[in-house]
Amino acid sequence: MRVVILFGSEMGTAEKVAEAIAEEMTGYEVSVSDMSEFDVTELDPRLFHIIVCSTYGEGDLPTGAEPLFEALDAHRPDLTGLRFAVFGLGDSVYDNTFNRGGEIAAAKLTALGGTQLGEHARHDASGETKPTAMARDWVHTLPLDSALAGA
């Protein structure tokens, strides 16, 4: 397994985005998992991870994603070498907390030694662009050769 796509979603948009990214990655070995069903011990620093995460509450992670990130805080695994990219989802009507979910995820992985690659995507549900269309373009901007070196 070379690319692990993890999604955190309340209403299903991030899941659709994760599936669209997987479809776009032809030629790669890809898995798609819901963060709510993903155990912290499954994080493998040798693999490239794509985090697809929406934002809820007052700039919080989606409810289903919280246990994974709470477990990261509790266990503090060494994620040195883990390379990841983030596609965040939010809505600019929440101007103070726009896209905070993906930013929280990136900060937590970085704090444990992970390295973020590529552009941090921030989809805006109030914008014109469909999240899956934006994600299909975004995935081709990722430095996949460098992300997958050694994976």
Ligand X SMILES: Cc1cc2nc3c(=O)[nH]c(=O)nc-3n(C[C@H](O)[C@H](O)[C@H](O)COP(=O)(O)O)c2cc1C
- Residue 147 and residue 128: Cα distance in Å, rounded? 30
Q: In this complex, which beta carbon is closest to ligand X, that of residue 58 or of residue 128?
A: 58
The least distance separating ligand X from the CB of residue 74, rounded to whole angstroms, comes to 24
The least distance separating ligand X from the CB of residue 97, rounded to whole angstroms, comes to 4
> Which residues of the shown chain bind ligand X in the complex (CB under 6 A)?
9-14, 54-56, 58-59, 62, 89-91, 94, 97-100, 125
The least distance separating ligand X from the CB of residue 15, rounded to whole angstroms, comes to 6
Q: In this complex, which beta carbon is closest to ligand X, that of residue 62 or of residue 114?
A: 62
Structure tokens at 94: 């929440």
The least distance separating ligand X from the CB of residue 94, rounded to whole angstroms, comes to 3
- Residue 142 and residue 145: Cα distance in Å, rounded? 9
- Residue 137 and residue 45: Cα distance in Å, rounded? 26
Structure tokens at 121: 């995507």
Q: In this complex, which beta carbon is closest to ligand X, that of residue 115 or of residue 132?
A: 132
Contacts of 15 (CB under 8 A, 6+ apart): 7, 9, 34, 52
